Amino acid sequence: MRFYNKQHKYYCGIDLHTKTMYVCIIDQEGTILVHQNLKAEPESLSKSIAPYLPDIAIAAECIFTWYWLADFCALHQIPFILGHALYMKAIHGSKTKNDRIDSQKIALLLKSGMLPQAYTYPAEMRATRDLLRRRMHFTQFRAELIAHIQNTRHQCNMPDFYQKIAYKSNRKGIVELFDEPSVQKNVQCDFEVMKTLDQTIADIELFITQQVKEHNPNDYVILQSFPGIGKVLALVILYEIHDINRFPKVQDFASYARLIKPRKESAGKTYSGSNRKIGNRFLKWAFSEAAILLIRESDEIKKYHQSLKNKHGKAKALAILAHRTGRTVYFMLKNKQAFDMKRFI
């Protein structure tokens, strides 16, 4: 957990919403200078903080509307601190909670150096990252359509399709295999939506591979030197990390990517089972996929995985391999070096 502890003359806490924002500005003594509800727009914020420039810092909780606020602060060279929503229990744990109280507590947490930080993703690559996440949403929806067609086949007690329907060239004649006209229409609708999704996903991938040439082509090439990390996984890892130097240690990176199990200790007792979902779920997915594909790609890794499986079991063996994959990617990007199988094993 990282805290923002730089000192400023004034501190501004904002409880941000889609249409409104409650602004609280305090000085170093904690005196409230501004405490009002405003429209969520740059003009209103600019007028509110104008008397306290240039030595003011602005903080807001990490919700989906923070992009414009971060860009506003970057444009006017104002320090912006994005509060980690899950860690800000001082706000959510209050007996009484409203926008006025929340904005004041954000300002006080910022002043005291106790505001837990989330990463403020820069605007240059943020939109491309969001587009990549949208692609993942489309691919998941496409997988649901394939599963629905397979479930329909099971309902009709039909034999397996002769080829995988995930590929466009293998879908010809599938609709006619069903007898009922309504079932045929049902499956046909799924195929029509899949056809649209196939084109959309392909367009997104082409666009992002062109964008990465402007953003970070060197790291993109380095990532693809890892067996099992192809075009899509390399894009996901690259855009979710953004800058590997923001992680001082490999342990910080592994924690962020959900590759290690969190532990809680108190009075000599160890507790587990909580906070497992704090971190980047997209990196967790990418490294888990890369570990599985790595086993398919390399005979050496197959032997290594088998030894892990004999010792720890199947699930833990894959988790260990995913962790090692994440650590390897960290050092590959940190040192600007391609994959080395000997060092990996």
pLDDT one-digit tens code per residue, 25-35 = 999 999 999 99
* pLDDT value for 15: 95
Q: What are residue 21's DSSP bridge partners?
A: 16, 38
Q: Sorting pLDDT into bands at 50, 70 and 90, what band is 180?
A: very high
- How many whole angstroms separate alpha carbon 197 and alpha carbon 235? 19
Please write the tens of the pLDDT for every residue from 45-92. Answer: 999 999 999 999 999 999 899 999 999 999 999 999 999 988 887 666
User: Read out DSSP for 76-99?
Assistant: TT--EEEE-TTT-HHHHT-SS--H
Residue 153's Cβ-side half-sphere holds a number of Cα atoms within 13 Å equal to 16
Joined tokens for residue 139: 């691919």
Q: How far is CA 186 from CA 160, 175, 256, 281, in A?
A: 18, 9, 42, 33
| % the chain with pLDDT above 70 | 98
**SS in 3 state form for 186-238?**
HHHHHHHHHHHHHHHHHHHHHHHHHHHHHHCHHHHHHHCCCCCCCHHHHHHHH
Query: Does the pLDDT value for residue 2 go beyond 90?
Result: no
Third-level CATH fold of 3-118: Nucleotidyltransferase; domain 5 (3.30.420)
85 touches 118 (CB < 8 A): yes
Joined tokens for residue 69: 């606020």
* pLDDT value for 297: 87
- Phi first, then psi, for residue 19 (nearest 5°) are -110, -25
Contacts 24+ apart (CB under 8 A), 228-232: 228/289, 228/290, 228/291, 228/292, 228/293, 228/294, 228/295, 228/296, 228/297, 228/325, 229/290, 229/293, 229/329, 230/293, 231/205, 232/205
173 touches 200 (CB < 8 A): no
* pLDDT value for 105: 92
**Sequence spans of domains, the chain:** 3-118, 123-215, 223-344
* pLDDT value for 278: 83
User: Read out DSSP for 112-168?
Assistant: HT-EEEE----HHHHHHHHHHHHHHHHHHHHHHHHHHHHHHHHHTTPPPPSS-TTSG
Query: Does the pLDDT value for residue 152 go beyond 70?
Result: yes
196: Cβ–Cβ under 8 A, 6 or more apart, which residues?
none
The crossing angle, in degrees rounded to 10, of helices 123-155 and 67-75 is 160
- Give, rounded to a whole angstrom, the gap between the first and last alpha carbons of the chain: 31
Query: Does the pLDDT value for residue 41 go beyond 90?
Result: yes
* pLDDT value for 92: 65
* pLDDT value for 345: 76
- Calculate the average pLDDT of the chain: 92
DSSP letter, residue 329: H
- How many whole angstroms separate alpha carbon 229 and alpha carbon 42? 42
Dihedral, CA of residue 253, residue 256, residue 262 and residue 268, to nearest 10? 60
* pLDDT value for 241: 96
Q: Residue range 288-302: average pLDDT?
A: 92
Query: Does the pLDDT value for residue 198 go beyond 80?
Result: yes
Minimum mean pLDDT among 82-91, 234-243, 313-322: which range?
A: 82-91
Please write the tens of the pLDDT for every residue from 95-134. Answer: 788 999 999 999 999 999 999 999 999 999 999 999 999 9
Q: Which helix (H) or strand (E) holds 293?
A: helix 281-297
Q: What are residue 160's DSSP bridge partners?
A: none
Q: Which helix (H) or strand (E) holds 324?
A: helix 314-335
